[in-house]
Amino acid sequence: MSDERIINILKEFLRRPVFGSLTRYVKEREFFSQIDTVIDESISAKREVFGSSVDGLKTVRVFDTGDLDTLVVPDRIRFDENDELHFQYNCKDKRYLKVEMSEKLRHIIGANCDSYLNTKYLRDFNGPFYRSNTSTKKQYYFLDYQIIEASLRKGPEKCVQTISVPYSDPVFEKTLNPENVNYMVLALWMVEHLMLHFLLEAHNQQELTWIREILYSRETNGRENLKTSLKSLLRSWKTDIQIQFITTMDLLYFKNETFQQLLTDSSARFHSYFPDNLKCEPHGHLSMDQVPAIKCSGWPRPAKDWVIRKRKWPPTTIIDEVLATGYELVAKSPPNENDPDRYFFMSFSGAETILCNSLPDDLQNAYYILKSGIKSLKKSRAHVCGLKMFHLKTSMLWVAENTDPNAFEKNNPCTNVRLILQYLRDCFRKKNLPSYFLPECNLLGDMKGSDVENIIKLLDLLYTDPAVCVYVAVEMEWIYTKNTIPYESFLKIQEPGYFEQFTWNEKIKFFAIAMAKADNYPIYDMMDNMSKVAAESFYVPFVDHLFSITNRLSKRYVITRDQLKPLYVFMKCVQGTEMELFNVIDDSLPAGFLSPEDGTLPENILNQYGDYNQGHSITLNETVPAMFKLRLKIYGNIFHVICLKLYSAVVDMTFQFADDDAMYIVQFLRRLKEEFSCSHEDIEDILHYLLFFCHYTRLRYHSLETGKQILRSMREFFENGHFLMTLYFSPMETFPKPVVSEISVVEMLQNLFC
């Protein structure tokens, strides 16, 4: 293939935003930050995102969600230039160091005879580094109540702790562990629940604030924080819908006969090197890497030369900004170290973020091309796993430093790609890739010879034909698309002109319908029976099977007064304050909650798709919140019908349901009615009060159908009402957790309302 044809391919690859500029608008940070709120405990630390999510070099496509990389920086400890004088650097690799114990450290961790700081203090989120600085004794704490199954992987040899949520792609769902959460259901639930919580707080703000002040002596800004989180996720969904459409249109462009003809030689070269077909495995986990880190101001002694060495880039202003941001220490020891718990590792993640965001645009584009191809290849080919994206980034930084910044603009994309590849290839041939900040440290020192040889062969292939990166990226995305949408839909979009025949407004509505019907919600039945959707009778068929009548004598459950009392007190509290906990689903978001500009991609991207106009932004702005509101309303209607079924069984003593959860709830409410002389209206009220809790625990029982989820959640609330009722008044402002306080919440509310 001639360089001219390679250049044309690379230019087209960069012109279409799917693999380059579009990926910068993927809002995974907002999604992950909410996941973190759901599954993580409260610690006295600041979380800082680093890596490709913030350094302007994101190229990850949908087939590889990647991890979100975060630093967890404790509030109580920070090192400065005076502390750095007591760092003892490893003579073989000065990225590693020991920290001498000092009075500052002993003041935090207590009396300690060790000569050096142990990394366990940084790793342990329950340890002294992460305790609050305040001396005021906390009157309450949050229970570790898990609503999403998550795991934490950590080890003494690793500086990272990975929080992982098992999930499945929609089409792959049946081939993976049935316990995995459907990714789409997870993403939809987060927005739905924030919306429900916001509406509940907005409707009952005065009452909830008053109760929280009485119970916990704490004022909260829950409504504003919920509003911020909800707006962030709704904006992300708007952006994601546009990305989905553009991805499809760009993929169809890259797979058309004309472009594929250009890639013929690249395809042949690739398959001569890799005879097997590309493979794209389904997702299995959604993970966030959290790296405990100590912030350090100033600049470390071993890296002083970086400040003064001769260079063509970056400019002095950027160097000053890097020095001002400092560096971090993470808990990581040298390979095969006999005393691993005494060693820390210098990280320059903040500095790298500043540098990467200031790179010349054309060099960034070259990196996009390489990363798109190599990362795609790594997903399919295990024997190139020794090549890391950090190797690629380090090479790019060295090329940037040693090249006139104006040269990249004058070069064509092929030349810029080869500049990075040439530097990286030379380093692998010498088996020495210098660390960017500490050149005497070799990033390849521990790599196996066989891995080095395989990587050199790959780099030779890419240098000869950089368009191989385009071929691999397009093919992997196409394979993923084929495997994660219904096969009939995949065939349809390949029909000439099929996808293009629909306007943006039509595509937006199709997408909204597809999202709204997740969880087997009856969207198509509703569209066919619009005159009936407001009637309770429409939803009865979806839950009737849960309430089959049995003639056999029901099991008698042991239900104690101690279990009944919290539910009675909770009911009296809600009635006494006249809070509304069910009909809030009929409330609307405030006017102007989102503007058409929120989450809209830049014009320079959208203008490449000629039929897009400002009116479509308005449609998108109206459709996305409406889709989530519709799902909430459907859930609320199913919930309401279940409440009526249960209420009827409580009132009519002859009802005996075959479902175990339903019968437990009925017996519980019969006992409650008898023990506390509750009226029929009280029973109906308390059932409907549980809407928020049942929706809150949806993912806890995600493997069950919606109606069964509701019954299981109701039963759990009745069994453990003494602490689960506190979710409604919890000081935690988004995705609250149950609260235990020094004074019994049940007793305090009983004194107020009973």
- Residue 695 confidence (pLDDT): 97
- Residue 8 confidence (pLDDT): 95
With 80 as the cut, is the pLDDT of residue 707 above it? yes
pLDDT in tens, 273-324: 888 788 776 666 667 788 999 999 999 999 999 999 999 999 999 999 999 9
Look at residue 203 and tell me if it is in a domain.
yes
Is the backbone peptide bond immediately before 590 cis, with ω within 30 degrees of 0? no
Look at residue 188 and tell me if it is in a domain.
yes
- Residue 258 confidence (pLDDT): 93
Q: What is the mean pLDDT of the chain?
A: 87
Look at residue 628 and tell me if it is in a domain.
yes
pLDDT in tens, 339-354: 889 999 999 999 999 9
- Looking at the chain, the whole-number percentage of residues with pLDDT higher than 90 is 56
pLDDT in tens, 503-559: 889 989 888 888 888 888 888 888 878 777 788 889 998 899 999 887 666 678 899
Count how many Cα atoms sit within 13 Å of the Cα of residue 739 in the half-sphere of its side chain: 23
- Residue 681 confidence (pLDDT): 97
The domain total for the chain is: 2
Output the DSSP codes for 2-57. Answer: -HHHHHHHHHHHHHSGGGTGGGGG--HHHHHHHHHHHHPPP-SEEEEEEGGGTSS-
- What span, in angstroms and rounded, lies between the C-alpha atoms of 603 and 600? 9
pLDDT in tens, 34-68: 666 665 555 678 888 888 777 877 765 544 455 67
Q: Are 243 and 26 in contact, with CB atoms under 8 Å apart?
A: yes
Strand partners, 166: 285
Task: Show the tokens assigned to 656.
Answer: 């005996």
Look at residue 130 and tell me if it is in a domain.
no
Look at residue 750 and tell me if it is in a domain.
no
Average of pLDDT values for 724-748? 88
Is the backbone peptide bond immediately before 314 cis, with ω within 30 degrees of 0? yes
Residue 137: count other Cβ atoms within 10 Å of its Cβ.
Answer: 6
- Residue 61 confidence (pLDDT): 56
Backbone angles phi, psi at 515, to 5 degrees: -70, -40
Average of pLDDT values for 549-570? 87
Angle in degrees, 0-180, between the axes of helices 561-577 and 205-216, rounded to the nearest 10: 130
- Residue 65 confidence (pLDDT): 52
> What does pTM read for this prediction?
0.90
Count how many Cα atoms sit within 13 Å of the Cα of residue 58 in the half-sphere of its side chain: 27
Look at residue 679 and tell me if it is in a domain.
yes
Could you tell me which residue, 261 or 187, shows the higher pLDDT? Answer: 261
- Coil, helix or strand at residue 257: helix
Look at residue 655 and tell me if it is in a domain.
yes
- Residue 224 confidence (pLDDT): 84
Could you tell me which residue, 556 or 77, shows the higher pLDDT? Answer: 77
Look at residue 361 and tell me if it is in a domain.
no
With 70 as the cut, is the pLDDT of residue 648 above it? yes
pLDDT in tens, 394-403: 999 999 999 9
Task: Show the tokens assigned to 617.
Answer: 């932004």
pLDDT in tens, 206-236: 999 999 988 887 666 667 889 998 999 999 8
Could you tell me which residue, 144 or 714, shows the higher pLDDT? Answer: 714
Output the DSSP codes for 153-203. Answer: E--TT-S-EEEEEEEE-TGGGGGS-TTSEEHHHHHHHHHHHHHHHHHHHHH
**By residue range, what is the domain housing residue 638?**
623-728
- What span, in angstroms and rounded, lies between the C-alpha atoms of 276 and 381? 10
- Residue 626 confidence (pLDDT): 94
With 50 as the cut, is the pLDDT of residue 136 above it? no
- What span, in angstroms and rounded, lies between the C-alpha atoms of 454 and 492? 40
With 90 as the cut, is the pLDDT of residue 577 above it? yes
Q: Are 177 and 166 in contact, with CB atoms under 8 Å apart?
A: yes
